[in-house]
Amino acid sequence: MSPDLPASVQIREVGPRDGFQNEPETIATADKIDLINQLVRTGLNRIELTSFVRADVLPQLSDAPEVLAGVDVPEGVSRSVLVPNERGLENAFKSREHFEEIGVFLSASETHNKKNVNRTCEESMAAIQKMVPRALADGIEVEAVIATSFGCPYEGHIDPERVFGFVRQLIDAGAQEVGFGDTTGMANPVQVGRFFTEAIARFGDEVLLTAHFHNTRGQGLANAVAALQAGCTSFESSFGELGGCPVPAGATGNIATEDLLSLLHEMGVETGVDLPKVLDASRSVAKILGRSLGSHTLVAGPVDWQ
């Protein structure tokens, strides 16, 4: 292992939420439950299961309570749900026994935030500042995600200082983890390396910092390496490279969990995750969807030096 790299990292699987919500097909609830039951037995110990959003906005996730109640998650696997607003949090509380973490979010870009949730960034932050203490008081851990942290398709470059200003507010609100989303795949490795070096220097002693890259322009794994070299030890990815972003068109999926695992394992970075079992789950979802997926390792298989 290179002395410049962390010895180990943790991965949160986001395919059942970030992946399923952006697929054109609505996956049957029973199939979702089966796929999640496969994923939680791969060694992944953090998984984002669903989101409490309006059914008319994201019908793909309208079965959130049924999915949460139906999955069989082993001890030691932390279950997370995304809540877009105060009403989403209220609905999530109705299934409180089925999760340990919530994710809240806003965009660094005013335009993207408005298009995504029909709120200004200030309005989204005000809601988060109300939701986080409520969740913490009920023993729920909180990740706050800043979308378009590295660039916006509407506004272009996003000043890192703007993002870091949001980080400060989120930490002050009580967030225990802050994720940086390259929501439409606009980041490059040099930018990512500089960004995470500064973010870790400023906030790394206060909060877990997580990298969330999309592979829209084929740079997702290169960006993951840049974040890793800067000291990032927490990543989010989606099995099969499922997902994308509802706005704008053409924002394709997250980096594939199996591609990230293959990369890390080849570089000697421990994850505690069984790559062949993740590949089995990706084969299962490809069969359900009836089409090939973007994952490279799913096609080529893991490297075998024997």
**pLDDT tens per residue across span 134-160:** 999 999 999 999 999 999 999 999 999
Residue 24's Cβ-count burial label (10 Å; 0-12, 13-18, 19+) is exposed
The reply to whether 245 belongs to the active site is yes
- Which of 121, 152, 232, 245 is the catalytic position? 245
pLDDT tens-digit series, residues 162-209: 999 999 999 999 999 999 999 999 999 999 999 999 999 999 999 999
How confident is the model at residue 268, as a pLDDT? Answer: 96
pLDDT tens-digit series, residues 203-238: 999 999 999 999 999 999 999 999 999 999 999 999
How confident is the model at residue 257, as a pLDDT? Answer: 98
Going by C-beta distance under 8 Å and a sequence separation of 6 or more, which residues neighbour residue 122?
Answer: none
Supply the mean pLDDT for the chain. 95
How far is residue 130's CA from residue 220's CA, in Å, rounded to a whole number?
Answer: 33
How confident is the model at residue 252, as a pLDDT? Answer: 72
Is pLDDT at 1 greater than 50 in this prediction? no
How far is residue 18's CA from residue 15's CA, in Å, rounded to a whole number?
Answer: 5
List of domains in the chain: 10-300 (3.20.20.70)
DSSP 295: -
How confident is the model at residue 247, as a pLDDT? Answer: 62
Give 147's strand partners: 107
Residue 249's pLDDT band (cuts 50, 70, 90): low
Contact 90, 59 (CB under 8 A): no
Is pLDDT at 2 greater than 90 in this prediction? no
Going by C-beta distance under 8 Å and a sequence separation of 6 or more, which residues neighbour residue 280?
Answer: 38
| CA angle, residues 283, 285, 291, in degrees to nearest 5 | 85
Q: Would you report the helix, strand and coil content of the chain in percent, each value rounded to 5?
A: 45, 15, 40
Average pLDDT over residues 56-76: 95
